[in-house]
Structure 1
């Protein structure tokens, strides 16, 4: 396949708001050993992209400085040792570089586009499903019958966590910022969606005996509330700090209830760790996706040159589910 020398991209011109996202041209990258080059049809938009744009989340060493942590498209070149073939349609977790017509990523971080799913939907899968699987099931150890609380239920992470926890037989509770968002969360399988602007999520969880597991992307004042509402041997998993990373906490509660507090970020993890998550998803989640039991909830899409509008929508928190960018041939 003949490839161009240059490609259209959106780069970060300098730390700041959405307006610093700037269309540009860059050389087309080439895959190294174990890597694949993907012609990007669609790219997902995620909170870490905005943090990077704001100068608060630097790419790991060796990663592209372009934003974009997930995509779907066609494999157009294969490095030595990669298991994919030219022409394969994949969705992929990326170390960066997704806001571009072409991107390189380890072949082990790619998954086949699920049967019956379009490329736009597939582009909305990797970042959220990798994150939810490793934090809710690997770190959090969610089991059938347990009470699970996920904050931010209408986000990409939240809508994914609700569906997967529901399929695992958990009792799912969530918080969201409007009655419309709460209704969508309950449609997806939440037993109770709590409008945090008008209701006390701590009191509601205590009324059902507390939570076994909390997945929190808010932090700040939510942290002590999460600890209070956890049952004995409960687990708190932190994945972001939209409300700030600091809180005053009574650790006597942690000791008395034998709580576990943990957390992770996905991007800095090793290639091997991400490959293991991909294998788990292929085994445990992709079969559910291919029969329509779980899948991405889609919000708005924007052309790649309008990435700034996509970021503005995400940061408005008006969206429900995933925002995507139409790139090449989408």
Structure 2
């Protein structure tokens, strides 16, 4: 069964929310960009100052040929992007359309028909986005799993989000689907029972500095521990060699890896998240910077939920450097012996530090 499409058809429910941005390709990945914004970072899709209404986003997108299209930020109660939150969830079906023949994965086609809500083709043309009104059940953060096996669609996958998600909306409407976004709470609950889900945790993405690791290429040594930390946090996906094997890059720009440090049945247990510039282990949704990822790959630490400390920290720093990242060598400042001596005369703890300094 092939699909019939209508171009330029955007659903009324989505256009009624001021949650729109534009986007462009940067290094082959979709990057939200809001040229009308006065926000400090016009590329952040999680900053509500970058959001606008559909008409404004569409106008800017049409005016500037370097912008590829418009996108919508799916929100839920508690996202704190803006109030009121939208009631919309996204079903993201990857690699379910054969772009040469137009044939569709049977399960994806069944969802389009039975959910009876707005669906459009993804930017690549090989995926389908279905938008519905509803929310994931309590205790479920996302749905991420392979679709039922089909020989013509070996990489077909499903992801479901009801918040904290930027999605490119193409307006390439599948006219066998509903023209509008409809209530689909039954279906989101059914999908959460059918496929693998992830649960909310207290983990939050690590804040990464807005700098490139290349800025440290010519920095051989430092006596500033903060500079060393900044260099570590600047290491991105392209800056080092991993033992984990890259398995695919999704339409969203997320890169999946088969983790080298544990078994992953799907081969997608580890992900690089370009929006946050961080790695995430999907088993428990643990976020890792480059140092933690290298440490767990090298068995310096035993779990993605840990972080190297003490002697393990310096072992991981050395391994990170050996993997190709630009990390300056840390050289401690000489101790101020005169200052330490003055304090040591009246303080036992300071006296101990003074004696250690003498040994150095």
TM-score (norm 2): 0.24
Q: State which structure, 1 or 2, has the greater radius of gyration over its C-alpha atoms.
A: 2
Higher share in helix = 1
TM-score (norm 1): 0.25
Larger relative contact order (Cα-Cα within 8 Å, sequence gap ≥ 6): 1
Higher share in strand = 1
